[in-house]
């Protein structure tokens, strides 16, 4: 996995205010000062189409905030690779991975030139140590996001003991992954 990175994240468009606007639901409770601290902790990564950020089964520990571009998610099911959908600007993936690293559930591939803001587990731990309020606030926001995704999944599973087919399985997995757009 290769990433072109630039630790100097802030640019004309990439500001604390822009971060809050782009990721409003996740960062709604952050003050401007806290947003700047978070922005300084994030690592900018420019990714090219076709680049795989990780494959299903790879160990992962990184939260990706999508500033620009589009990422495709696919999952191995039996002998097939099933396209699950895409994520775009203002969306994010890796909520569970940054909290509790483990194997990736999906393959994550860049489909448009993208600017990603990354925070790995070590970065989160450093943020929590240096700025406990900001680190705690981020953990709370990520936990609330996970809780909402689980609620959506549980609603879909409420009357089922198992999905009827692969299509239904994919439909039920989308909320867990934060996928709203189903185009490849």
Q: What percent of the chain has pLDDT over 70?
A: 79
pLDDT greater than 90 at residue 78: no
Q: Are 47 and 113 in contact (CB under 8 A)?
A: yes
pTM above 0.95, yes or no: no
The architecture in CATH of the region 4-177 reads Sandwich (2.60)
* Residue 82 exposed, middle or buried by CB count within 10 Å (0-12, 13-18, 19+): middle
Q: What percent of the chain has pLDDT over 90?
A: 64
How far is 79 from 90, CA to CA, in rounded Å?
32
List CB contacts of 147: < 8 A, sequence separation 6 or more: none
Q: At what angle do helices 132-157 and 121-130 cross, to 10 degrees?
A: 130
Average pLDDT over residues 52-79: 93
Distance of CA 112 to CAs 44, 65, 115, Å?
16, 15, 10
pLDDT greater than 50 at residue 58: yes
Question: Can you spell out the DSSP letters for 60-95?
Answer: E-EEEEEEEEEEEEEEEETTEEEEEEEE-TT-EE-H
How far is 102 from 91, CA to CA, in rounded Å?
21
How far is 53 from 50, CA to CA, in rounded Å?
9
pLDDT range class, residue 8, cuts 50, 70, 90: very low
pLDDT greater than 50 at residue 88: yes
DSSP, res 143: H
Higher per-residue pLDDT: 5 or 80: 80
pLDDT range class, residue 158, cuts 50, 70, 90: low
Dump pLDDT digits (tens) for 16-47. Answer: 999 999 999 899 999 999 999 999 999 999 99
pLDDT greater than 60 at residue 184: no
Q: Are 71 and 87 in contact (CB under 8 A)?
A: yes
């Amino acid at each position: 996995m290769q990433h072109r990175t630039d630790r100097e994240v802030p640019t004309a468009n990439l500001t604390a205010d822009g971060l809050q606007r782009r990721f409003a639901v996740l960062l709604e409770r952050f003050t401007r000062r806290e947003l700047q601290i978070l922005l300084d902790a994030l690592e900018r990564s420019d990714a090219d189409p076709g680049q795989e950020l990780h494959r299903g089964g790879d160990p992962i520990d990184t939260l990706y905030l999508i500033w620009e571009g589009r990422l495709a998610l696919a999952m191995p099911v039996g002998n097939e690779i099933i396209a699950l959908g895409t994520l775009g600007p203002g969306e994010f993936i890796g909520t569970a991975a940054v909290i509790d690293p483990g194997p990736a559930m999906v393959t994550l591939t860049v489909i448009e030139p993208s600017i990603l803001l990354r925070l790995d587990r070590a970065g989160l731990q450093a943020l929590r140590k240096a700025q406990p309020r900001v680190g705690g606030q981020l953990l709370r926001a990520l936990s609330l996001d996970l809780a909402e995704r689980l609620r959506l999944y549980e609603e879909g599973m409420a009357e089922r003991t198992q999905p009827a087919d692969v299509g239904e399985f994919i439909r039920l997995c989308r909320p867990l992954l934060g996928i709203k757009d189903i185009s490849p």
